[in-house]
Amino acid sequence: MLEYAVVGSGIGGCSIAAYLDAKGHKTALFEKDSHLGGCSSTFNRNSYMYNSGATTLAGYQEGHIVKSLFDAIGYKPKLLTTDPAIVILQNGKETPRFRDLEKFLAVVEQNYPHPKNREFWTLVYELNKKFYSTDGYYYSNRSLFKKAVSLLSYTPIFMKFFRYFFSNAKTFLDHFFGGIDKEYLDFLEAQIMIVAQAKSSEINFFTCALALGYTFNETHYVYGGMGALFDGMSANMQDVRKNSEIKKIEKKEGYYKLYTKDEVIEAKNVILNSTVYESAKLFDESLIQKYYQKYEKLDNHQSSFMLYLTIKSDADFSHHYQIIQDENFEMTLSKALFVSFSDKDDEQIAPKGYYSITASIHTDTRFWEKDADYKATKERLKNLLLESLMKNLDIQTSQIIDCISATPSTFARYINRSQLGGNAITMKNFLPFLPSNDTPIEGLYNVGDTVYAAQGWPGVMLGVNNLKRLLDV
Ligand SMILES: Cc1cc2nc3c(=O)[nH]c(=O)nc-3n(C[C@H](O)[C@H](O)[C@H](O)COP(=O)(O)OP(=O)(O)OC[C@H]3O[C@@H](n4cnc5c(N)ncnc54)[C@H](O)[C@@H]3O)c2cc1C
């Protein structure tokens, strides 16, 4: 019998499975898709390779969570440090998000002059530094008592940052700047959205500061695509099963039975990397169904529309751009398109002289479910985004070798989820209302961006770290 069956190979599932395996626990990793990595995978289409969603690795630096976990697994990825982390394009202005505060302040002051700029960005910078040097906290959901005790571990964080926890970010920005013009606010909102997955009006200033300041930490480009991280993490694992969807799970006395379409597996513990919104349907037992159903209301239906391109070009591009226009693109929730280029010398992902490009914009899952003319709508949005990307980055039609798009429904087909970006931590949806990595059900655990702590590499890895502590491994 397995000690751990890990269902799903996203950031959360793959890293906890690799860790447990490295520590000598009998573990198997089950993945529905033919690639590991979920929202952070790399896929191949007609011999062109693309990152499916995530393109940036944050948190891989000394003392930070991703590096600590990779070190514990014994994995050293092949990375390139990116500085600036992103270049933001808005109304002809180009703002590189340099890691160095002074260098960044000089461009911000030129593009978005404001007497409070230095004070504001210094605060954002300092809050980031302070937060990433804090540890010792954890979060349990096993029982009310365990939850209450775990919440006490946040006392030092609370003491350090409490004045920012209770102030709404939008109100804070308005007061701090004493009025801020639309263009500067759009610039801030676009950056907040890609990290916090919410608008400033929905979050507290603490979350807002972490979102605006992530580029002051190290960010990395991953050679060979983000999928390389999963192949690397799982390289020494004995039991990795791709194309292996778990269709049903039964709780037995002291163990679980997991069913794929052609086998039955027994495991003492199950770690689900499926979203909490989708996990109820894996079980027939009403107690477990109810546990997950209570979290279905957290599903904000937010998702991404994707554009994948291969271009032939000798031009030099930054690794990441955010293109901000004045109004939302139709069928989306945003004015901002996030565009990532492969590295010029990364021939594992695109041949010399070519670039693999992944571009994304926020949308709502429901826009795509109800659309009777799905194909035509998808094509229209694809062309709209393509036009903006080509105009802003000076790319010609003749340079485009391949171009495809994906909607939330495409993601559902491949990785069982249409909501992307996980659980946004808003003023309403904060500890202690978040699902944790443990559950009140013996031997059943969760990991991923819809449970504690948050989305993205650092957010999901904080959850993996929490799970390690709860499992005591
Ligand atoms: C467009 C986009 C861009 C992003 N950009 C970045 C970025 O640049 N940097 C960053 O850090 N983060 C980024 N993120 C966020 C980040 O990608 C996600 O938060 C993260 O990848 C989610 O990881 P997860 O552990 O929740 O697993 P998921 O990615 O949700 O993967 C879960 C896996 O489980 C599998 N699965 C589900 N059900 C079953 C089942 N029953 N049986 C077997 N397998 C199953 C799925 O197939 C999937 O592979 C981005 C997200 C998107 C959508």
Whether 455 lines ligand 1, by a CB cut-off of 6 Å, is yes
Verify whether ligand 1 is closer than 6 Å to residue 30 (CB atom). yes
In the chain, where the domains are located? 2-78+224-298+419-471
- Residue tagged 């700047």 (tokens): 177
Å from CA of 39 to ligand 1 middle: 3
In whole angstroms, give the CA distance from residue 362 to residue 304.
5
- Please report the DSSP string for 420-432 in residue order: -S-----SSS-TT
Ligand 1 contacts CB of residue 453 (under 6 A): no
Rounded Cα–Cα distance for residues 259 and 278 (Å)? 16
Long-range (24+ apart) CB contacts under 8 A made by 140-148 are: 140/436, 140/438, 140/470, 141/435, 141/436, 141/437, 141/438, 141/439, 141/440, 142/436, 142/438, 142/439, 142/440, 142/470, 143/440, 147/432, 147/436
407-448 per-position pLDDT tens digit: 999 999 999 999 999 988 888 888 889 999 999 999 999 999
Cα of 292 vs centre of ligand 1, distance in Å, is 19
Q: Indicate which residue's Cα is closest to atom 47 of ligand 1.
A: 415
Question: How far is Cα 316 from Cα 343, in angstroms, rounded to an integer?
Answer: 9
Where b means 16+ CB within 10 Å and e means fewer, 439-455 reads bebebbbbbbbbbbbbb
| pLDDT for 240 | 98
Task: Indicate which residue's Cα is closest to atom 50 of ligand 1.
Answer: 54
Backbone phi, then psi, for 197, in 5-degree steps?
60, 30
Model pTM? 0.97
- The pair of three-digit structure tokens given for residue 358, joined into one six-digit string: 């992944």
Residue having the nearest C-alpha atom to atom 5 of ligand 1: 54
Q: Which amino acid is at 255?
A: Y
Give residue 262's pLDDT. 93
Angle, CA of 95, 99 and 102, to the nearest 5°: 75
**DSSP states along 265-280:** EEEEEEEE-S-TTTGG
Cα distance between the two ends of the chain: 19
Adjacent-strand bridge partners of 309: 357, 403
For 24, the token pair is: 């000598």
Going by C-alpha positions, the residue among 49, 4, 50, 56 that lies closest to residue 25 is: 4
What ligand 1 atom has the least distance to the C-alpha of 59? 11
Dist. CA 246–CA 274, nearest whole Å = 10
Is residue 347 within 6 Å of ligand 1 at its C-beta? no
Residue appearing with tokens 């499992």: 471
Q: What is the residue type of 57?
A: L
Residues 6+ apart with CB under 8 A from 114: 120, 177, 180, 184
Looking at residue 429, its pLDDT comes to 85
> Which of the residues in the chain have pLDDT under 70?
none
CB atoms within 10 A of CB 211: 24
Distance 324 CA to ligand 1 centre (A): 25
DSSP notation for 227-260: HHHHHHHTTT-S-EESS----EEEEETTEEEEE-
In which order are the strands placed within the sheet that holds 79-81? Answer: 57-58, 219-222, 79-81
- Which is the CATH superfamily of the domain at 2-78+224-298+419-471? FAD/NAD(P)-binding domain (3.50.50.60)
57-58 and 219-222: which strand pairing? antiparallel
User: Is the C-beta atom of 198 inside 6 A of ligand 1?
Assistant: no
* Cβ–ligand 1 contact at 446 (below 6 Å): no
Measuring from atom 37 of ligand 1, which residue has the nearest CA?
A: 274
